[in-house]
Structure 1
Amino acid sequence: MSSPKPLRVLFCIGIQQNFFDATTAEAKEVWAAFASMMKGIADLPGVNVLGNMDDDRIMVGPSPSWPWTTYILADVPDIATVTAACNLFRVTPVGDGTYKLWKYAKVEARIGRELEVPA
């Protein structure tokens, strides 16, 4: 029996107003937490990050809904792993850990499959 195909997941990430209200020092801590979250997604078992895209040069300000600020496209083995990736926003500490990353950024996962065009 063959193993199931991975889920194709687009993690859509919106930057919240709190990031724009942050001091320079706080914003640097958010960036460090963001890098930790991205590494955390890539390090989840079975995850293959295919790429990312950032809209920050043509989009200014917070993104409360679509279009999002940045995106991560990945193949993910199952829904539990998608959930674990999204949970990183809830648990990744910023600075001393008083706040978590989700104060500054939010995520929505779009789940589908790789488009295979029939021959």
Structure 2
Amino acid sequence: MTEQMRALVCIGVTDAFFAAGADERALVFHATKDAFAGMSERFGVTVLGTFDDDTLQIGPSHAFPWTCYLLLDVPDYESVRAIANVFRETEVGAHRMWHYYKVEARLGRPLFFGED
């Protein structure tokens, strides 16, 4: 029996994003949306939920609390690694996406209560 795995992808916005002009920030938004389109099909994950704290948190996120989160059911470690690689590989203008974001992923399992 294989134990179900969950991933919590924690995403912070860096100083570089806030230092960028409006056109560059718009480019980052569009590139991010495109880069993560079709996550379920591309990475074999199930998106259980998303959370964006950008209305109450202002400025860069260097650690917890993060700006936004993805909660995923994942088939394996490699699927989470592939999602993290999107930040490493996606070009946004003169930079890669990781220039604008800090990312940490946590792997775990479903909690034994609270999902009824």
Determine if the TM-score, normalized by the shorter chain, exceeds 0.5: yes
User: What's the TM-score, normalizing by structure 2?
Assistant: 0.89
- Give distance in 1, aligned partners of 2:52 and 2:7: 16
Q: In structure 2, what is the equivalent of residue 33 of structure 1?
A: 31
Q: CA deviation at 1:32?
A: 0.9
Quote the residue 1:72 is aligned against.
70
Aligned to 2:5: 7
SS of 2:81 mapped into structure 1: helix
Any gaps of 5 or more consecutive residues in structure 2?
none
Counterpart CA distance in 2 for 1:24 and 1:101 is 16
The list of structure 1 runs, each at least 4 consecutive aligned residues, that deviate by more than 6 angstroms after superposition, is none
Q: Judging changes above 3 Å, is the alpha-carbon distance between structure 1 residues 42 and 15 closer, same or farther for their aligned structure 2 residues?
A: farther
Percent identity between the two aligned chains = 44
Deviation at 1:40, TM superposition (A): 5.6
1:7: Cα distance to partner?
A: 1.2
1:101 aligns with 2:92: no
Q: Is the 8 A contact 1:33 1:94 kept in 2?
A: yes
RMSD between superposed Cα atoms in Å? 1.4
- Contact 1:89–1:100 (8 Å) recurs in 2: yes
The TM-score normalised by the length of structure 1 is: 0.87
Unpaired runs of 5+ in structure 1? none
2:109 corresponding residue in structure 1: 113
AA of the residue aligned to 1:29: L
The amino acid that maps onto 1:110 is R
Aligned counterparts of 1:106 and 1:43: Cα–Cα separation in 2:
24
* Superposed CA offset, 1:58-115 (max 9, x none): 10100011110000000110001111111110011113xx211100012100110011
Task: State how far apart, in whole Å, the 2-side matches of 1:23 and 1:45 are.
Answer: 32
Aligned residue number for residue 45 of structure 1: 43
User: What is the alpha-carbon distance in structure 1 between the residues aligned to residue 49 and residue 21 of structure 2?
Assistant: 30
Number of corresponding residues = 113
